[in-house]
């Protein structure tokens, strides 16, 4: 019996020839991640267990991205803890304001994640890195603390679900639409503690930015990780960000899956997930008349330069509806700089939007776009739970950049085809 890519990576990192679903392993880690919300807790627990030095081998990455630039005294103190710990421990990969971007966009851009690696992060969307063919999963801060002290993490090998995407995508349909459609089909618990392995000719044709978006939201289906086998697109991307060696892996032809799901991409329309779960996805044309007060383009899901280009193409020469606040958040400083160089920043500002420094801010209702009671937002973020972006009686509709940009102009949720 063959093995899936997830099983192969976990076997390689636990010193075993093979592993099977349900088996517990102690995996050696290539990379550990914490942010300004989760890392201070991990650092405190690291000290409580008597650890003095970071474990050798695994790289620790600390990113100040959730409440930065510091929104209040508490977030300032959290970032101070990270700075001091980084100096004390000689952490090479500490990213502060000016260098920091949204962590799950920043790490791939910096070449810190690679095919075949085993990665944990004290943030649920760590599963993003499966897009380059790594096993990557989110943990709690205490798990991160133990990993910082030992370089290892205790994991249960997940079953895998094979999701095969066939056919050509319609205009404007991207990775966000594919993953929202998939979650809508299987539900937010449809892949609970399982690996979602995305494959098929439609995935092979998908740019890296869209792959990152899809793996980013695997957790929204309850998955332990999302993953895509490395191919020519992966190799080209890795060549553009790093020169270090890595070990790509792929599933065997006779690998065993919990189930296989077939999806025809040619039938997928632009998607919108209605409040208050990502599984409430439906074609934008079936949403109805939903007025909005805010549109957010950004986040670790859709804040890359490709997302900004798509949104700017729609907004160029148009104006944001007078009743809508458009907030545009590039995911990293590099994206922000490229937006300036390409004239995209000018396009957003001329349309009536505002540009933010890279931050997770509004995605978790922290700052830079918190919603008031009764307000609705369309956002390219990844979650639309009750109160996610602010007041408990506010609403968040999830969509890709084309729908978010078009909706900002229309003043209601709509598609680019509806624009004059």
Q: What is the pLDDT of residues 71-124, one digit of tens each?
A: 999 999 999 999 999 999 999 999 999 999 999 999 999 999 999 999 999 999
d(CA 288, CA 8): 46
Average the pLDDT over 369-376 and give the result: 98
The closest alpha carbon to 188, from 126, 281, 285, 262, belongs to 281
Q: Are 295 and 327 in contact (CB under 8 A)?
A: yes
Helices within 162-262 (DSSP H only): 175-186, 201-204, 208-216, 232-241
Average the pLDDT over 190-215 and give the result: 98
Predicted pLDDT at 56: 79
Burial of 89 (0-12, 13-18, 19+ CB in 10 A): middle
Q: Whats the size of the chain, residue-wise?
A: 420
pLDDT tens-digit map of 340-357 = 999 999 999 999 999 999
In the block, tokens 């003095």 appear at 52
The closest alpha carbon to 304, from 272, 327, 336, belongs to 336
The closest alpha carbon to 116, from 255, 213, 22, 250, belongs to 250
Confidence category of residue 1, pLDDT binned at 50, 70, 90: confident
Predicted pLDDT at 202: 98
253, pLDDT greater than 90: yes
The closest alpha carbon to 216, from 47, 111, 331, belongs to 331
Confidence category of residue 58, pLDDT binned at 50, 70, 90: confident
Mean of per-residue pLDDT scores for the chain: 97
Burial of 407 (0-12, 13-18, 19+ CB in 10 A): buried
SS3 content of the chain, % helix, strand, coil (to 5): 40, 20, 40
d(CA 167, CA 257): 22
d(CA 374, CA 390): 10
d(CA 121, CA 68): 19
Bridge partners, 297 (sequence order): 328
Residue 268 is given by DSSP the state P
Predicted pLDDT at 57: 76
Sign for the CA dihedral angle at 174, 176, 181, 183 comes to positive
pLDDT tens-digit map of 311-344 = 999 999 999 999 999 999 999 999 999 999 999 9
Average the pLDDT over 230-249 and give the result: 97
- Domains of the chain, start order: 5-263 (3.30.499.10), 271-418 (3.30.499.10)
d(CA 81, CA 39): 9
* pLDDT above 70 coverage of the chain, percent: 100
Q: C-alpha distances in angstroms, 346 versus 337, 342, 349?
A: 12, 9, 5
Token couple for 13: 């990192």
The closest alpha carbon to 113, from 136, 92, 91, belongs to 136
pLDDT tens-digit map of 257-283 = 999 999 999 999 999 999 999 999 999
């Amino acid at each position: 019996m063959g093995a899936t890519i997830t099983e192969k990576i976990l076997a390689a990192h636990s010193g075993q020839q093979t592993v099977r679903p349900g088996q517990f392993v102690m995996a050696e880690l290539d990379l550990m991640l914490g942010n300004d919300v989760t890392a201070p807790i991990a650092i405190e627990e690291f000290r409580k267990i008597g650890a003095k030095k970071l474990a050798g081998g695994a790289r620790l990455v600390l990113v100040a991205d959730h409440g930065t630039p510091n929104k209040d005294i508490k977030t300032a103190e959290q970032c101070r803890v990270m700075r001091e710990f980084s100096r004390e421990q000689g952490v090479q990969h500490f990213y502060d304001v000016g260098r920091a971007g949204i962590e799950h966009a920043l790490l791939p851009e910096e070449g810190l994640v690679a095919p075949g690696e085993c990665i944990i992060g004290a943030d649920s969307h760590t599963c993003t890195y499966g897009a380059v063919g790594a096993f990557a999963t989110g943990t709690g801060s205490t798990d991160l603390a133990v990993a910082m002290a030992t370089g290892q993490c205790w994991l249960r090998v997940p079953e895998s679900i094979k999701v095969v995407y066939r056919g050509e995508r319609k205009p404007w349909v991207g990775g966000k639409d594919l993953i929202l459609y998939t979650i809508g089909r299987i539900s937010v618990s449809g892949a609970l503690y399982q690996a979602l392995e995305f494959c098929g000719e439609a995935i092979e044709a998908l740019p890296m930015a869209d792959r990152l978006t899809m793996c980013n939201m695997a957790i929204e289906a309850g998955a332990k990780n999302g993953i895509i086998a490395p191919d020519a697109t992966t190799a080209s991307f890795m060549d553009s960000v790093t020169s270090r060696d890595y070990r790509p892996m792929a599933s065997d032809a006779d690998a065993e899956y919990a189930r296989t799901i077939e999806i025809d991409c040619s039938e997928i329309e632009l998607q919108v997930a209605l409040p208050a779960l990502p599984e409430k996805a439906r074609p934008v044309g079936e949403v109805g008349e939903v007025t909005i007060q805010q549109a957010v383009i950004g986040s670790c899901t859709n804040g890359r330069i490709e997302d900004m280009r798509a949104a700017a193409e729609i907004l160029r020469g148009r104006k944001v509806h007078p009743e809508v606040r458009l907030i545009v958040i590039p995911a990293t400083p590099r994206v922000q700089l490229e937006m300036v160089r390409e004239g995209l920043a000018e396009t957003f500002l001329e349309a009536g939007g505002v540009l933010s420094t890279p931050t997770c801010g509004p995605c978790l209702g922290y700052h830079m776009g918190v919603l008031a009671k009764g307000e609705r937002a369309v956002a390219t973020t990844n979650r639309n739970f009750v109160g996610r972006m602010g007041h408990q009686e506010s609403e968040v509709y999830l969509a890709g950049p084309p729908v978010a940009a078009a909706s900002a102009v229309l003043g209601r949720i709509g598609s680019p085809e509806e624009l004059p």
